[in-house]
Chains A and B, each alone.
Chain A
Amino acid sequence: MITLPIASALSSAATREVSNPPRGSAYSPLKLFNAGEQGFWFDPNDLSTLFQDSAGTTPVTAAGQPVGLMLDKRLGLIKGKDIAGTGIERSGGSLVRNSFLDFTSTATSFAYLALSIPVSPVPYILVFNWKTTNNAGGTSRAFVWNEAGFTVLGLGVARGGDGSFIETIYVPAGAASIRAAVQLNGAAGANCKFTVSARSMPGNHATQPSQAGRPILREENGVRYLELDGIDDGMLIAGYRADVNWSSGVAARKSSSGGAFLFESPVTAANIYMGSGNNSVAVNAAPQNNGFSKAIALNADFTYAVSITGDNAGTGDMSLFCRYDGTNRSFYFGGRVYGMLQANKIMTPEQLVQVDKFMSGTMAPR
């Protein structure tokens, strides 16, 4: 068995650390999750948490770009240790191992060197660093596929000619063993020196694989937010469900008269959700009747923080910004979301006040 030189991550979009409280606030929602509580915290103002595609290959760099992957900040975006690779596969080239992998193509076109990475119970970020020489007129790119079969999980942008490149690719929790490769597509003799870091990125991250369903990042007065079209925009947190007791805080603005669902965790008989039809936000309005609801004026900012006790635990994956029964989506939230968190715990009254104040701060002009 070959032990791979999986190097520490170099600087990249995936290594940027979390920027915590909004300006003027010393409070951070991280405190809610100090004991390892399950939940999520999404902060669209933090570009380091946003990617345009669900594979996480293209970071969001500016307003006006779609969001296909949104990282959960509740654990601080602190990456775990390297996940060790267990093998090498190469095609159309020769390999020299140093402190990096030194691969020279012997093919007239397509060649690659791939590292094998085992199943991981938590999501992780692959960071590719590579430098090409003798590749004028050719291209190189990072890509990732399932070992079983050849199903592509992530495909980086093809980079032309010689140069130094960095690419990140997100791999969701529970993904089967994968191969992470740098591919050369040029003339024989092209050389590539590279390292790959596979660092776990625990969290309940939200994804949207379809282009039409992705929210757009917008910015106004220095404040970034997700814009949901109220038609078909929504995301999913695969593998995450609400518990019997939970709390939530949101900062948003509703701009369409359609559905008001902000999130939902389906159960067999009755769903756990924040939101309802049309212009009010209700928490489990029926049949649980937990007694919380808040009317929403269209096109006006609103926040809330609330704790709920004694519901059924969710049995289906958590959907964001719409209802989702596993097959069909409906009742999409249309408007802006500045921030949103949920925790499988009961917050104290003091914590609820802090969360509500924090959420208000996410909407304040910078």
Chain B
Amino acid sequence: MTYTISCVLLIPSQHRAALNVLADSLGYGPDNLSVRLVKADGAAWFGCHTWCEQAFLDQLVDPQYQGEVLSALIVSAVPGGDASANWTNSLEANGLSPLEEDPDP
């Protein structure tokens, strides 16, 4: 079993905690949505990149998990894709940018 799909997940800050709880309950561990992002309008978002299988994408559209949280989730899945390119393109397409920090504060 190998993970061949590059998958970027993006979500507004207010839904982050609920999505992380859902992911943990499905066996993907805690704090998956961990990268702090900011939208052009100043709104806080979070994102992540993971390699996945089709079964994971199927879960995202499974009726039993549908609701406000997954409705707000933006997914970019690219089979065999490049993680960095998928990430950069996904952020640009949604008007998002990373919240940078000074590495030597």
A65→B2 contact, CB < 8 A: yes
B32→A286 contact, CB < 8 A: no
Q: Which A residues touch B49, using CB under 8 A? A: 212, 229, 231-232
A326 to chain B, nearest CB (A): 13
A216→B103 contact, CB < 8 A: no
Q: How far apart are the CA atoms of A216 and B6 in the complex, in Å?
A: 11
Residue positions of A touching B, CB distance < 8 A: 53-54, 62-66, 68, 208-214, 216, 229-232, 255-256, 259, 261, 276-277, 285-286, 323, 328-331, 334
Q: How far apart are the CA atoms of A230 and B88 in the complex, in Å?
A: 11
Residue tally, chain B, CB below 8 Å to A: 26
Q: Which B residues touch A63, using CB under 8 A? A: 2
A210→B30 contact, CB < 8 A: yes
- Residue from the list A62, A66, A213, A331 in contact with B32, Cβ < 8 A: A213
Q: Which B residues touch A211, using CB under 8 A? A: 23, 28-29, 32, 50
B48→A232 contact, CB < 8 A: yes
Q: Which A residues touch B3, using CB under 8 A? A: 64-66, 216
Q: Given A210-B32, A211-B32, decide whether A229 and B103 contact each other with a Cβ distance below 8 A.
A: no
Residue positions of B touching A, CB distance < 8 A: 1-4, 9, 23, 28-36, 47-51, 83-84, 87, 101, 103-104
Q: Given A65-B3, A229-B84, A255-B84, decide whether A277 and B103 contact each other with a Cβ distance below 8 A.
A: yes
A330→B103 contact, CB < 8 A: yes
B32→A229 contact, CB < 8 A: no
A210→B87 contact, CB < 8 A: no
B55 to chain A, nearest CB (A): 12
Closest Cβ neighbor of A61 among chain B residues: B1
- Residue from the list A209, A210, A230 in contact with B84, Cβ < 8 A: A230
Q: Could you name 5 residue pairs across A and B whose Cβ atoms are closer than 8 Å?
A: A53-B29, A64-B2, A211-B50, A212-B34, A231-B84
Closest Cβ neighbor of B87 among chain A residues: A231
A276→B103 contact, CB < 8 A: yes
B34→A232 contact, CB < 8 A: yes
Q: How far apart are the CA atoms of A230 and B3 in the complex, in Å?
A: 17
Q: A65-B2, A213-B48, A230-B83 are in contact. List 12 more A-B contacts (CB 8 A).
A: A62-B2, A64-B2, A65-B1, A210-B32, A210-B34, A212-B9, A212-B32, A229-B49, A231-B47, A255-B84, A259-B103, A328-B101
Name the residue in B28, B32, B35, B51 with the highest tally of chain A Cβ atoms < 10 Å from its Cβ. Answer: B51
